[in-house]
Amino acid sequence: MTDKEISQKRERELKEEILPWLKAKADIDIIVAQNKSRFEKSKLLISDYFTSNGKEFNFEDWKWQLKNRFTTIEELDFFFRFSDQKKEELKQVTYKYRFSITPYYLALINPENDADPLKKMSLVSSDELIEGGNPDPMQEAQTNPCGIITRRYPDRLILNITNTCAMHCRQCQRRRKFGDKDKIASPDDVKISIDYINQNPEIRDVLITGGDPLTLSDNYIDNLLGKIRRISHVDIIRIGTRVPVTMPQRITPELISILERYSPLYINTQFNHPVEITEESTSACSLLANSGIILGNQMVFLKGINDNKYIVKYLNQKLLQIRVRPYYIHHPQRIMGTSHFYVPIEEGLSIMKYLKGNGITSGFAIPAYILNAPKGLGKMRLPDAIVEITEDNLLTETWEGKRIKYNLPDVFYNNPIIINE
């Protein structure tokens, strides 16, 4: 065969290889387009709800969005039209776990589809009352040297500044901190924590999270970032936020002008499904990226939402288009009230194998697959951290060389055992 003939043969092979993906992509494109059309109609319905009740409607204002979060099943009845039985069923869940949904995110949901991924991530479900799981599987309370700090690594730590979120996502790893009202860390706890960073020069990386720190006021954020940036040995500051996804109106020019002053600044967000990438969330990410902030995404594998290789590939490719680097995919943790989101490790590994297949997608679109070790022992990258996997057991190793044994197929319900503490 000539070089030309060999090239043409290879071209045909590549085209054949990508056909299943192109078909899947076309199907997802339809879902995304339908959601965009429905969003405008839902926005009108929500507008009517507020104006008919004599309330202000200011959809583009983030303070209005935060103030007017939907927090009761009764409030949502105009949108979902619950049966009396369903309404009572959901109310039982709210007695244990509170919820909140911004008007923006509500407008993205398909109220007629119980399998709608955004509905699953935002609206309480009776599945949250299923037994199993742990309120604090990473034992953050035991990695808290003082104040609002979580410290799992030698050179970095977390500041848990608030329990406030634009939306209380049902998959949240800190649902134990939902409480019954929004709270901000006390000034004393903040001072103690900043002093701790000052007194420990090995700390070079500070992650501000919560809750969601971008629900705080501009002045508060400016003041907090200023205190951290004045610590000479802190190289980078990171912010963990889902605001670009659940309340993108928060990313204002005023906020950007503050964030720009504290470079290098990194923001990690959490897009879990392609329909969360909207004109509004794209605009929010563009404002952040244009200001020099480096954006990453930390998806969580969630049953019935993104436990599909084509959904994950589509999401990651779209994220790159809006200048958000796919950074992590987290395996769901053993958190009380979230067992219905569980995805078996084998499924996660299979999806990652597909993404890593030669030529399947750009290397930039392949995040690290993360399993959080118990007892605050840090993140483990899969499959790199796997020492052995059998039909019944998974043996992993942490960055410190500690080996952890999980029972398969369901690591959610079975307590992992550290075998070389």
In this prediction, what percent of the chain has a pLDDT beyond 90? Answer: 81
Cross-sheet strand order for the sheet of 403-407 = 386-389, 393-397, 403-407, 417-418
**What one-character DSSP code corresponds to residue 276?**
G
List the domain boundaries for the chain. 140-418
pLDDT value of position 180: 80
Q: Taking residues 57-66, report their average pLDDT.
A: 98
pLDDT value of position 375: 85
Q: Taking residues 125-139, report their average pLDDT.
A: 84
pLDDT digits (tens, 9 = 90+) for 147-156: 999 999 999 9
At residue 88, does pLDDT exceed 90?
A: yes
**What one-character DSSP code corresponds to residue 322?**
T
Confidence class of residue 343 from pLDDT cuts 50, 70 and 90?
A: very high
In order, the DSSP letters of 167-212 are S--TT-TTGGG--SS--B--HHHHHHHHHHHHH-TT--EEEEESS-
Is residue 343 classed as helix, strand or coil in its secondary structure? coil
Q: Where are the alpha helices (DSSP H) in 53-176?
A: 62-67, 73-80, 84-94, 103-108, 117-122
At residue 352, does pLDDT exceed 80?
A: yes
pLDDT value of position 383: 94
Is residue 233 classed as helix, strand or coil in its secondary structure? coil
At residue 139, does pLDDT exceed 80?
A: no
pLDDT digits (tens, 9 = 90+) for 206-257: 999 989 999 999 999 999 999 999 999 999 999 999 999 999 999 999 999 9
pLDDT value of position 413: 60
CATH 3.20.20.70 correct for 140-418: yes
Report residue 22 CA to chain centroid gap: 27
User: Is 251 in contact with 244 (CB distance < 8 Å)?
Assistant: yes
| Short-list 256, 268, 269, CA closest to 225 | 256
pLDDT digits (tens, 9 = 90+) for 19-53: 999 999 999 999 999 999 999 999 999 999 999 99
Q: Taking residues 100-105, report their average pLDDT.
A: 98
At residue 136, does pLDDT exceed 80?
A: no
| Short-list 140, 215, 133, 211, CA closest to 177 | 211
pLDDT digits (tens, 9 = 90+) for 272-331: 999 999 999 999 999 999 999 999 999 999 999 999 999 999 999 999 999 999 999 999
User: What is the pLDDT of the chain when averaged over all its residues?
Assistant: 93
Confidence class of residue 359 from pLDDT cuts 50, 70 and 90?
A: low
More confident residue, 62 or 137: 62
Confidence class of residue 114 from pLDDT cuts 50, 70 and 90?
A: very high
| Short-list 164, 189, 186, CA closest to 177 | 164
pLDDT value of position 104: 98
At residue 158, does pLDDT exceed 80?
A: yes
